[in-house]
Amino acid sequence: MKTRLLVVVAALGSLSACSNDTAPIDTTAVASVDTAVDSTIAIRENVTISVTVGVDSGAERIEQVALGSEVTISLVNPNEEDEFHLHGYDLSPGETPKGETATITFTADTAGEFEVESHHTEDVLVIINVS
């Protein structure tokens, strides 16, 4: 992106040696200067994490996520109704019927390790490591 900057150059006329005689100021000289503006935009990564309780869940499962990423976590408990919670961000999709998918979507704008937990079984399902 370029920004056009107008610079007005005022040229002062010569002053004569006479006490009452002065030359008028010339304000017609105008210069145009182009300057480049660096408009770097942070690119956000989209991360999708799927977790099935009892299949690929557990405290040993750690998902690495880049700071600033848009994260979607899909959670399903095939065995019972459940309620999931992302600690640290304090997000929960509420009660989810047996076999149905719950979704938590957030911007990973805080660095650290955050547990996703089942409120019914109290098990850690996955740890999200944001760095």
- The pLDDT score that the predictor gives to residue 25 is 53
pLDDT digits (tens, 9 = 90+) for 83-99: 999 999 999 999 999 99
Average pLDDT over residues 63-80: 96
State in words which class domain 46-130 has: mainly beta
Q: pLDDT (tens digit, 9 = 90+) per residue, 101-124?
A: 999 999 999 999 999 999 888 999
In the chain, the DSSP E strands lie at 2-8, 30-36, 46-52, 62-65, 70-76, 82-86, 95-96, 101-107, 112-118, 124-130
Per-residue model confidence (pLDDT) at position 86? 97
Question: Cα-atom radius of gyration of the chain, to the nearest Å?
Answer: 32
22-30, long-range: CB within 8 Å, 24+ apart, which pairs?
Answer: 30/6
Single out the residue of 53, 61, 126 nearest to residue 88, CA to CA: 126
pLDDT at res. 113: 97
* Locus of tokens 């010339």: 26
Q: Which sequence spans correspond to the domains of the chain?
A: 2-36, 46-130
Residue 12: pLDDT above 80? no
pLDDT value at residue 40 = 34
**pLDDT of 15 above 50:** no
Query: What is the spatial order of strands in the sheet that 46-52 belongs to?
Result: 46-52, 70-76, 101-107
Give pLDDT tens digits for 16-63. Answer: 443 445 555 555 554 444 444 333 334 468 999 999 999 999 999 999
